[in-house]
Amino acid sequence: MCIVRVRRNHLVEDALDEIARQYRRDLFKPLRVHFIGEEGIDAGGVKKEFFQLLVAELLSPDYGMLVYQPESHTYWFNACSLEGEEQFMLLGLVLGLAIYNRVLLDFPLPLALYKKLLQQSVGLRDLEDMQPTLGRSLRQLLQYEGPDSVEDTFCLTFSVEMDFFGDLRTISLKPGGEDLPVTEETRHEYVDLMVDYLLNRSIHRQFEAFFHGFRILCDGPAIRLFNACEVERLVCGNPNLDFAALERNAKYEGGFSAASTAVQWLWGIVRDELSFDEKKMYLKFFTGSDRSPIGGLGSLKCVIQRDGPDSSKLPTSHTCFNTLLLPEYATREKMADRLRLAILNAEGFGLE
């Protein structure tokens, strides 16, 4: 058994120390997590909470390791990060540990990263997926056939500007690039160098450390049987959601059963009244992820638990145990109102 002991208020520091202590020796054993000072026994829920909290902290702007890409709703390496290789190694190891222990992560990464983990080349299409506006502008450069020259129209040189914490620096894409104009003859070279810089060269240090951590647990021929999309599903789950399967396999506690009126209302609301995006929010509200595991939602052990009689209280959840705590509301309309209010305003482990 690989037992990781961490303090909540020193999560990243303790996780790094614990993983370093058990490096290669115990990491291949089943993972058990213990929060120091707490009595919880890890039957799966504590481990899931550990990953959720750790990823949330590592993605925090306070660390500055990754940068949010608003157009694609994904994270990419911060080329200007001041964090050391050990933090990026930990991030990669978290990804590998989650796959190895079958824990889904709310870790939105672009497909380019999974391709790089499989040591596949990345190109303009991958940049377009991650940064659509920039990708389209580069493609327009390649396709331009206007009356004026590329040099006069786009006024580009073989360089890129990068913001290093408020200090705007010009980086040459090739020797002397700042003084070399992009022309009809050289625009393909410029686009290739720009894509390579953004997806490879600028984040080489960060990615190599991340890759090192990932392949500690996920190296070898088996991982190469997957394509990038399949590895993404191993990490984040399947975007195809079968809520009928979730309902068929749900368990009930606290006085509820599948035949309870409140339970019938709940599934009717989910099935008939929630939009697809709201259904995803509902799933994330009580499981911590808006995707299903590889086996589908039918393989997810979810629990609907009665949380007292009718009241104005909102539904709550224990995401670590996939448990929805639902008051026995007096009417379906009230339940729909309370449920929608809860899922639309929830983030993480509590309401904003």
Is 320 an annotated catalytic residue? yes
pLDDT per residue over 87-133, tens digit each? 898 889 888 888 888 888 888 899 999 999 999 999 999 999 999 99
Q: What is the CB neighbour count within 10 angstroms for residue 196?
A: 16
> Do 128 and 266 fall within a single domain?
no
> Do 132 and 228 fall within a single domain?
no
- How would you classify residue 351: left for phi > 0, otherwise alpha for psi between -120 and 50, otherwise beta? beta
pLDDT per residue over 172-189, tens digit each? 999 999 999 999 999 999
> Do 77 and 216 fall within a single domain?
yes
CATH number at residue 14: 3.90.1750.10
pTM of the predicted model, to two decimals?
0.76
C-alpha–C-alpha distance, residues 314 and 326, integer Å:
8
CA distance readout (Å), 254 to 2, 260, 306, 316: 34, 11, 5, 14
Q: For residue 348, which of 98, 57, 38, 139 has the smallest C-alpha distance?
A: 57
> Do 209 and 177 fall within a single domain?
no
CA 54 to chain centre: 12
pLDDT category at 349 given cuts 50, 70, 90 is very low
- Of the residues 2, 218, 236, 320, only one is catalytic, namely 320
CB 135 within 8 A of CB 129: yes
Q: Where in the sequence is the domain holding 143, given as residue range(s)? A: 124-198
